[in-house]
């Protein structure tokens, strides 16, 4: 079965608040311009065949399978669809649709002309998509094999690094390389350096040589240095790709006979002051530089595999994950000045806990497993988003179980003591479920509760003992689950002052503050990518050595050498 590419790309459709094109992350295979998705039983071929004339920002060509955000939006969509729509697929082969060219990496003309903000968010989104590939391999039994049939440079090699195995054509011209340092004055921005040493196990000194070679390495030497798994002669390449795909498929537990869940087009109404989804309202307050996310809990507590199969993508936890994912990406790229996100909820906590019981009881079912991992990835996307998150817990809220993660991931959480005058609803509660203790780990590999009480195991034990109990404000505060509590007399003023104060702080200082505070504890490959590589890439993109008028990015391809300020900072 083959999904053919259509004529309409995922592309900007309007001008956003900052005067840049609005980026729409919604797409589907019949709209792809850069990828082909071909399904053959348990093996899928994800073919990169970039349309040179379809850049997302315009004004440059995507030559040699180089990519921009539009290419990555389609890749993200394809990875999601493979996980949900094709349970029979056990192996995904990433390959090029162009003869003797795999991928030249991120498009240099795009990097030179894009705003600093766009470049940073582009690198972050690309990082997240690579990590989603690795997550599929580690947790969903969907392995990835990269078949490199030509020059594989920069971000192209970083895509290969995200796969379980890399096969390279041994034809004396195909090579892998990370040439950013010698060519562009930057560094691999989507996890390349980290994966070379931490995942591939390349020796540090050899990695240093490799990352400063424009031409990269080919054949046996690339294998000897652990940069690829095999170098295969052209005459045997296709047969060896098929053989390795079968080997990887044999290690998977994906079901052969299950019916997939079609990811139908996301329902989203766009309004002048926000977005509206079936389970999420997003309201912009641009003069106050903040945005309100209001989550609607499930309509009832009836959750079953039969209902999942019947409702498909409309099944509440899956639908909410897709809506939150789309909303946070929209805010990143299209609403740069809305730096404060206020999270609220409405619904029945008992219904949310019923959903959690279903997600836990059926955790070995392939589709339930995918939903849980999708929610995990969405919550992680909040963690690495440069916004302040404040969660408000008031009567009528449904912050329980899975939705309690939106309390735990917040920079601050506030809970009302008792009720508002004239409100006949019962006091707000916060309830934990078993899923809060491991189902949704952060980048450091720990649950948010484990991270919260990293150096206080007795407090974590007390919280664990309270699992399943509806906690009112005083109890939640005593257990350390919320930041502050106020009664109805003080609530309005205290919340207003706190939000106004937060919005008045330097956004740069807040980004540094939040990024340093959100990831205590052990380091993982993922936390290194975001805490180190993304931060350095952000900094380098602002330096004149890279993006100044005489910098490497601006002078690339002109025949002029870049002019560097040689002072180390």
d(Cα 331, Cα 337) in Å, to the nearest integer? 9
Closest-CA residue to 369 (of 326, 328, 308): 308
- Per-residue exposure over 333-347, b if at least 16 CB sit within 10 Å of its own CB, e if not: bbbbebbbbbbbbeb
Q: For residue 508, give the 3-state DSSP assignment.
A: helix
pLDDT at residue number 19: 59
Q: How far apart are CA 415 and CA 162, in angstroms?
A: 41
Residue 495 has pLDDT above 90, yes or no: yes
- pLDDT of 449 over the 60 cut: yes
Q: What is the DSSP string of 556-568?
A: TTTTPPP------
Mean pLDDT of 364-375: 98
The helix/strand/coil state of 176 is strand
Give the pLDDT confidence score for residue 34 in this predicted structure. Answer: 98
64 within 8 A of 350, measured Cβ to Cβ: no
Asked if 35 and 129 touch (Cβ cutoff 8 Å), the reply is no
Please compute the mean of the pLDDT values over residues 154-177 and round it to a whole number: 97
Q: Are 43 and 91 in contact (CB under 8 A)?
A: yes
Closest to 480 in 3D by CA, of 511, 499, 502, 454:
454
pLDDT at 432 over 90: yes
Helices 69-85 and 116-140: crossing angle in degrees, nearest 10, is 20
User: Is 306's pLDDT higher than 50?
Assistant: yes
Closest CA to 247 of 91, 118, 37: 91
Three-state secondary-structure class, residue 21 = strand
**What pLDDT, on a 0 to 100 scale, did the predictor assign at position 16?**
53
469-485 pLDDT tens trace? 999 999 999 999 999 99
The answer for residues whose C-beta is within 8 angstroms of residue 6's C-beta and 6 or more apart is 30, 31, 32
Residue 6 has pLDDT above 80, yes or no: no
pLDDT at 12 over 60: no
Query: Which pLDDT value is given to residue 10?
Result: 45
β-bridge pairing 412-416 and 484-486: parallel
Tens digits of per-residue pLDDT, 324-363?
Answer: 999 999 999 999 999 999 999 999 999 999 999 999 999 9
Confidence check: pLDDT of 532 > 90: no
Give the whole-angstrom CA distance, residue 219 versus residue 240: 15
> Which letter, b or e, does each residue of 381-416 get, where b requires 16 or more Cβ atoms within 10 Å of its Cβ?
bbbbbbbbbbbbbbbbbbbbbbbbbbbbbbbebbbb
pLDDT > 70: percent of the chain = 97
Which segments of 25-139 are extended strands (E)? 35-40, 43-48, 91-96
Mean pLDDT, the chain, whole residue set: 94
> Which domains does the chain show, CATH number per domain?
2-249 (3.90.226.10), 272-517 (3.90.226.10)
The angle formed by the CA atoms of residues 165, 190 and 159, to the nearest 5 degrees, is 30
Tell me which of 16-30, 90-104, 195-209, 493-507 is least confident: 16-30
Q: Is the pLDDT of residue 20 over 90?
A: no
Distance CA 537, CA 192 (A): 12
Alpha carbon distance 16, 12 (integer Å): 9
DSSP string, 349-379: HHHHHHHHHHHHHTTTSHHHHHHHHHHHHHH
Return d(Cα 20, Cα 518) in angstroms, integer: 30
CA 191 to chain centre: 13
Burial of 509 (0-12, 13-18, 19+ CB in 10 A): exposed
pLDDT above 60 for 387: yes
Predicted confidence at residue 14, as pLDDT, reads 53
H-run or E-run covering 229: none
């Amino acid at each position: 079965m083959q999904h053919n590419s259509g004529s309409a790309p995922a592309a900007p459709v309007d001008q956003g608040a900052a005067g840049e094109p609005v980026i729409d992350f919604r797409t589907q295979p019949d709209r792809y311009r850069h990828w082909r998705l071909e399904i053959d039983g348990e093996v899928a071929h994800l073919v990169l065949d970039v349309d040179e004339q379809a850049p997302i920002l315009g004004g440059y060509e995507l030559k040699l399978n180089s990519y921009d955000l539009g290419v990555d939006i389609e890749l993200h969509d394809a990875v999601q669809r493979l996980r949900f729509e094709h349970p029979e697929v056990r192996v995904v082969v990433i390959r090029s649709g162009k003869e003797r060219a795999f991928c030249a990496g991120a498009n240099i003309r795009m990097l030179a002309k894009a705003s600093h903000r766009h470049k940073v968010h582009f690198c972050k989104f690309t990082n997240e998509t690579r990590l989603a590939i690795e997550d599929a391999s580690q947790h969903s039994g969907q392995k990835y094999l990269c078949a490199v049939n030509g020059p594989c440079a920069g971000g192209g090699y970083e895509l290969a690094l995200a796969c379980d195995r890399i096969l390279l054509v041994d034809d004396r011209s195909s090579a892998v390389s990370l040439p950013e340092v010698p060519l562009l004055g930057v560094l691999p921005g989507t996890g390349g350096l980290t994966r070379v040493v931490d995942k591939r196990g390349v020796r540090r000194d050899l990695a240093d040589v490799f990352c400063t070679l424009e031409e990269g390495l080919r054949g046996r030497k690339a294998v000897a240095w652990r940069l690829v798994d095999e170098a295969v002669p052209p005459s045997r390449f296709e047969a060896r790709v098929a053989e390795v795909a079968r080997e990887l498929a044999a290690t998977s537990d994906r079901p052969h006979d299950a019916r997939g869940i079609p990811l139908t087009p996301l329902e989203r109404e766009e309004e002048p002051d926000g977005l509206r989804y079936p389970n999420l309202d997003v309201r912009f307050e641009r003069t106050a530089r903040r945005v309100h996310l209001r989550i609607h809990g499930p309509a009832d507590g009836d959750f079953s595999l039969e209902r999942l199969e019947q409702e498909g993508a409309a099944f509440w936890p899956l639908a909410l994950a897709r809506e939150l994912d789309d909303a946070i990406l929209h805010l990143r790229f299209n609403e740069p000045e809305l730096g404060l996100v206020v999270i609220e909820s409405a619904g029945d906590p008992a219904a949310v806990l019923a959903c959690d019981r279903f997600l836990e009881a059926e955790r070995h079912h392939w589709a339930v497993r995918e939903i849980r991992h999708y929610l995990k990835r969405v919550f992680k996307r909040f963690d690495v988003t440069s916004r302040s998150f404040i969660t408000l817990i008031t009567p009528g809220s449904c912050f329980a179980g899975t939705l309690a993660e939106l309390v735990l991931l917040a920079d601050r959480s506030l809970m009302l003591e008792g009720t508002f005058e004239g409100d006949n609803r019962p006091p707000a509660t916060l309830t934990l479920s078993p899923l809060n203790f491991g189902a949704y780990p952060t980048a450091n590999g720990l649950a948010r509760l484990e991270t919260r009480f990293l150096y206080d195991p007795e407090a974590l034990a007390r919280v664990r003992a309270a699992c399943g109990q509806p906690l009112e404000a005083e109890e939640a505060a005593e257990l350390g689950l919320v930041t502050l509590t106020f009664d109805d007399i003080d609530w309005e003023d205290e919340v207003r002052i706190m939000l106004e104060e937060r919005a008045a702080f330097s956004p740069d200082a807040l980004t540094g503050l939040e990024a340093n505070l959100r990831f205590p504890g052990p380091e993982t490959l993922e936390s290194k990518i975001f805490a180190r590589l993304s931060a350095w890439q952000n900094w380098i993109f602002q330096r004149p050595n890279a993006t100044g008028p005489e910098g490497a990015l601006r002078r690339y391809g002109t025949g002029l050498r870049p002019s560097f300020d040689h002072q180390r900072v």
